[in-house]
């Protein structure tokens, strides 16, 4: 709780994963991947409850072992096409909508810390916001990118005004990093979205804590960083 507001952290972790099978329970630096997000939520000064929602009994057992509350998710909310907001709405309704804010902590962001969570919540209260979403600066400017036609011609690939610009001369761009979503619970239900239409702010995170695991390469990189930190 902060400033009289309550916070429910939701860690969604379905059992199926096509690109990286069973990724939510793979061993990352000595712990199941999901454990890192559970622990970050539990170590937060402001999170009132950490709840793991899953269709997989193994994941739910691991979540309980690491101190999280659990919610059995119905199969219709565990497919490849299920959206995060559908899972969040199911969870909010299960909790009788009794928390002021819902905090989505995706298990695929194991480098996000409890300090990141607390600073994002503090930003929310400071701004009197309805939502805060974590971002990081893009590794490369999107102005250097474009689509290609079938013949791979690069005519008009770059806009004329940036052809002779150095990367340092371009504006900084930011992307969602998937680590933290904080949303006013009632407004999330009303708009059916984690990205509210207004009164929403960005919490900036460094790139080295912004890995979002989707592939084996992502996992290996995150594992390397975690292990290196453990021995620093």
Q: pLDDT digit string (tens) for 30-51? A: 999 999 999 999 999 999 999 9
Model confidence at 170, in pLDDT bands (50, 70, 90)? confident
Map out the domains of the chain with their CATH numbers: 7-138+174-230 (3.90.550.10)
Question: Whole-structure pTM over 0.85, yes or no?
Answer: yes
Q: Does the structure show a pLDDT above 90 at 165?
A: no
Q: pLDDT digit string (tens) for 210-227? A: 999 999 999 999 999 999
Q: Does the structure show a pLDDT above 90 at 68?
A: yes
Mean pLDDT, residues 74-80 taken together: 86
Q: Does the structure show a pLDDT above 80 at 18?
A: no
End-to-end CA, the chain:
33
Mean pLDDT, residues 178-188 taken together: 98
The DSSP code for 36 is H
Which residues have CB under 8 Å from 169's CB, separation 6+? none
Distance from the Cα of residue 79 to its chain's centroid: 19
Rounded percentage of the chain residues whose pLDDT exceeds 90: 84
Assign 202 to helix, strand or coil: strand
Residue 71 in tokens: 């919610």
pLDDT at 231 (0 to 100): 77
pLDDT at 136 (0 to 100): 98
Residue 1 in tokens: 């709780």
pLDDT at 30 (0 to 100): 96
Q: pLDDT digit string (tens) for 105-155? A: 999 999 999 999 999 999 999 999 999 999 999 998 999 999 999 999 999
Assign 132 to helix, strand or coil: strand
Residue 41: closest CA among 21, 68, 14: 68
pLDDT at 103 (0 to 100): 98
Which residues have CB under 8 Å from 211's CB, separation 6+? 109, 110, 111, 218, 221, 222, 225
């Amino acid at each position: 709780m902060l400033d009289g507001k309550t916070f429910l952290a939701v860690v969604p972790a379905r059992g199926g994963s096509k690109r990286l099978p069973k990724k939510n329970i793979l061993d990352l630096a000595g712990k199941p991947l999901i454990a890192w997000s559970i622990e970050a939520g539990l170590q937060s000064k402001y999170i009132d409850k950490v709840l793991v929602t899953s269709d997989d009994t193994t994941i739910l057992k691991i979540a309980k072992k690491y101190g999280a509350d659990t919610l059995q998710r119905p199969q219709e909310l565990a497919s490849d096409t299920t959206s995060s907001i559908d899972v969040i709405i199911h969870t909010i309704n299960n909790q009788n909508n009794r928390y002021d804010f819902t905090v989505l902590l995706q298990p695929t962001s194991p480098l996000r810390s409890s300090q990141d969570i607390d600073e994002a919540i503090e930003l929310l209260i400071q701004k009197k916001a309805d939502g805060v979403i974590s971002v990081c600066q893009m590794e490369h400017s999107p102005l250097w990118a474009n689509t290609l036609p079938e013949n791979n011609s690069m005519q008009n690939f770059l806009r004329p005004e940036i052809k002779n610009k150095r990367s340092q001369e371009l504006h900084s761009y930011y992307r969602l990093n998937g680590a933290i979503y904080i949303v006013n619970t009632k407004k999330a239900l009303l708009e059916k979205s984690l990205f509210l239409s207004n009164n929403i702010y960005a919490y900036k995170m460094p790139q080295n804590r912004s890995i979002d695991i989707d592939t084996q390469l992502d996992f290996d990189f995150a594992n390397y960083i975690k292990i290196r930190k453990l021995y620093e």
